[in-house]
Structure 1
């Protein structure tokens, strides 16, 4: 059985076909310098075979997302998913035989390698009953299977290279047919390139790449020069799915296009040099005004920490003071809230020992002739945590629901959780580590990480970090989540 698709014509105008059925068993390697038409070839292959076989595209530049417009491919933004989510997504892709484009253009190179490695490994690990045939097209394969170590970490290179090797060496038995495209054969790992039995070689200029391409095509070295003379969109093809002898192929037209198009020649603006000089330098030397350098965060003296450890949990309540005549209990409570917000707004307040803060609170209440005794030490800590977290309406149903969930926490661990939960309730990004450290009253990143781990182990939060490094936090019991925070 065969499933031929036309990919172009030869020098005589005769149609050149590629057998998809044969390709699934023998894999394909595409090589061509930038501008040779390599991506155009891949797009032609994908468009013509879209109705025949499932397609999975690893797209580091986001050029193939336009396939979704005409061919119903699902675009998966690799930067938007966590490790666990991407693994589950890949498993469902195999299960439901969906054609997808994994767009990695929102990630740095090392993150692209890790994301692609995880995704390919999850496809590879599908259960046997889901080993349906699928074309796995990897553009710019030299990024994911580099021949030599680069600027990325050894771990990222090892993971990515292992996934690509599995795809090309062992993927056939699992129904995965690798189609890898590279700008330079010399930059692609040999154990990945060597597993392909079909080749489409485009224009290249470097001697080492021309020599390797000629070897793969079974040409003599003196014939390798013709590879340098190939035109844009013209390739030399060889392999059981294409031809038993090297054949020249002019790739046919496509119906979709890349996300970004190369601009045609355009003359520079006709403005005079003086006008351009004015445009380039307008406001260049203006200094920003009204921006103050952040003040250093005060560190609590060691003595305060000792006081907090030694002092009893609940010091004797302050003596009752007569309230201001004519003030109701609600008015007194409102005034106390105002004092707490005022204290919470002061720099370095969270770095002070609770005992010292409580003493400051009672003094302020006496100055306003308020009854502070109605708040013991525990009640003060709880209401002060609410003020520090920025909850302006603690009596609202939303705030009360958050406080109900937070009852499992000790008072000294309460404020950071309230800040996170209130951000989720408002649909805002999660406070960053610096903000949470100030709210918690610590200068130690390790201590803050341990606090977040404690929240997560308690089941209060679920921290999710996507491949672009953006962190969001979910509150499972509320069914809410913060917006992603840029790293």
Structure 2
């Protein structure tokens, strides 16, 4: 059966139609600078095809959640664990529910990892559930970047692999990718190359115009026309569209994005003194009991808060929505503030750290990766606030790696804590580890132990840390004739002790000396 999706009109006034069945086999790439009408085009395509095919929208800005009220899409908040997203994706394919995965408010790395987990869940569904499905990805260059940038390598590889699977291998699993990007130069070539249908909008950079012209088969002179396209106008080509490049204009849509095009509005009619008071003397924030967020009790009358923010839906509730293929349920009664005492919250954070550091590799994983894992555990336990910010996490992680409990209360230890504040957060735990050994008159930690407390495998990193602290006058380092190290804490005078001389230590020293002589020879 052939289903023609009405996108708008051609330059001659004829209907511009897209063959939906052909699109499922050949995929679609949309390109255009910001403000050219890409999201409007995607919305038109999704609205006109909603009754014919299952849909999933990867929405980085939360603009497409408005499809839920009119077309029954289930809104999936991506702020979940990877297992939750994979399980939801599997249920989506099983029950043929259309969804909007909203990534709004998440960091770029987390957005990439959430999108990868969700797409992989759709891709790995059981063969019996390989029903036809449109997968629309807005701002696809965020999830399939052409080159490594400011994102972590782990997140980039996961996201790029999922997008590559969608575009290269998704057809046999019933998945048809519809990807939109601001710049072709930002999009990975192996992802863009798998599309056979193209809708090219306004663009100004020569490199993007030339790539767009190459994709739709027009010469360099013809590429200049991309600069002249108006908002909502695209050049269409492909087996599901037209056999030669045809200009089309996208028609109207029935739903609206939460963030529309910017429009001018008059400035507030407020005196300069009153405006200065509003800006410089902000009211004290108070916590909203409905959402546990911070709000201001005094807000100028010309400001308003959008009421379209999608409610947070629990996984169990969301799965029940997917099974019924209906719109999202009401969020229910407001959530009260955390009833736990500060001591109970501190114990919960202690347990999270203990569980994370039980993994032997946790000592050497990058701090941003550990922080995202920490936030996931905190969300599952409903923890938020000062204990979960990045600065507190870095300091706590540094102490945990160094084996410092932080329960000392004597005055001298308070001096050590005050001195440690002069060091970078990731070094403070190493300094306290040395101070603990010196106070207990224990042997100085080895280079390997210092490096591990810092999060490194390299013993040379431990020696660098000692040199760094010694150069700043925080510690003194001495060695005996056998090369054993003694560390003195400048603020307290505490010193580590030399290792005891035993027969084993003498034999080890002789073996090391013989090895050095052999190397010199």
TM-score grouping bracket, smaller chain normalisation: 0.5 to 0.7
**Equivalent residue for 1:38?**
38
Q: Deviations over 1:163-189 (max 9, x none)?
A: 000000000000000000000000000
Say whether the 8 Å CA contact 2:133–2:174 is kept in structure 1: yes
In structure 1, how many angstroms separate the alpha carbons of the residues matched to 2:338 and 2:280? Answer: 40
**Equivalent residue for 2:465?**
none
**Equivalent residue for 1:126?**
125
Residue 66 (str. 1) matches residue 85 (str. 2) = no
**Equivalent residue for 2:112?**
113
Residue 435 (str. 1) matches residue 334 (str. 2) = no
**Equivalent residue for 1:182?**
181
In structure 1, how many angstroms separate the alpha carbons of the residues matched to 2:158 and 2:170? Answer: 16
Say whether the 8 Å CA contact 1:73–1:100 is kept in structure 2: yes
**Equivalent residue for 2:436?**
none
Alignment of 1:81-480 (within 5 A): 81-282=80-281, 428=339, 435-436=346-347, 469=376, 471=378
Residue 78 (str. 1) matches residue 78 (str. 2) = yes
In structure 2, how many angstroms separate the alpha carbons of the residues matched to 1:37 and 1:467? Answer: 38
Q: Deviations over 1:19-71 (max 9, x none)?
A: 11000000000001110000000000000000000001100110000000110
Residue 20 (str. 1) matches residue 20 (str. 2) = yes
Q: CA offset at residue 83 of structure 1?
A: 1.7
Q: Secondary structure at the match of 1:76?
A: strand
Q: Secondary structure at the match of 2:210?
A: helix
Q: CA offset at residue 208 of structure 1?
A: 0.5
Q: CA offset at residue 264 of structure 1?
A: 1.9
Q: CA offset at residue 467 of structure 1?
A: 9.9
What stretches of structure 2 of length at least 5 have no aligned partner?
Answer: 285-334, 361-371, 389-521
C-alpha change, 1:426 and 1:214, in structure 2 (3 Å) is: closer
Q: CA offset at residue 449 of structure 1?
A: 5.2
Q: Deviations over 1:396-448 (max 9, x none)?
A: xxxxxxxxxxxxxxxxxxxxxxxxxxxx99964696998128989xxxx9657
Segments of 4+ moved more than 4 angstroms: 424-427, 429-434, 437-440, 445-453, 465-468
What stretches of structure 1 of length at least 5 have no aligned partner?
Answer: 287-423, 454-464, 474-481
Say whether the 8 Å CA contact 1:429–1:485 is kept in structure 2: no
The TM-score, its normalising length taken from structure 1, stands at: 0.62
Say whether the 8 Å CA contact 2:38–2:180 is kept in structure 1: yes
Say whether the 8 Å CA contact 1:470–1:485 is kept in structure 2: no
In structure 2, how many angstroms separate the alpha carbons of the residues matched to 1:245 and 1:199? Answer: 11
C-alpha change, 1:270 and 1:150, in structure 2 (3 Å) is: same
In structure 1, how many angstroms separate the alpha carbons of the residues matched to 2:196 and 2:182? Answer: 18
Structure having the higher Rg: 1
In structure 2, how many angstroms separate the alpha carbons of the residues matched to 1:429 and 1:212? Answer: 58
C-alpha change, 1:247 and 1:425, in structure 2 (3 Å) is: closer
C-alpha change, 1:232 and 1:426, in structure 2 (3 Å) is: closer
Say whether the 8 Å CA contact 1:111–1:467 is kept in structure 2: no
Aligned length: 325
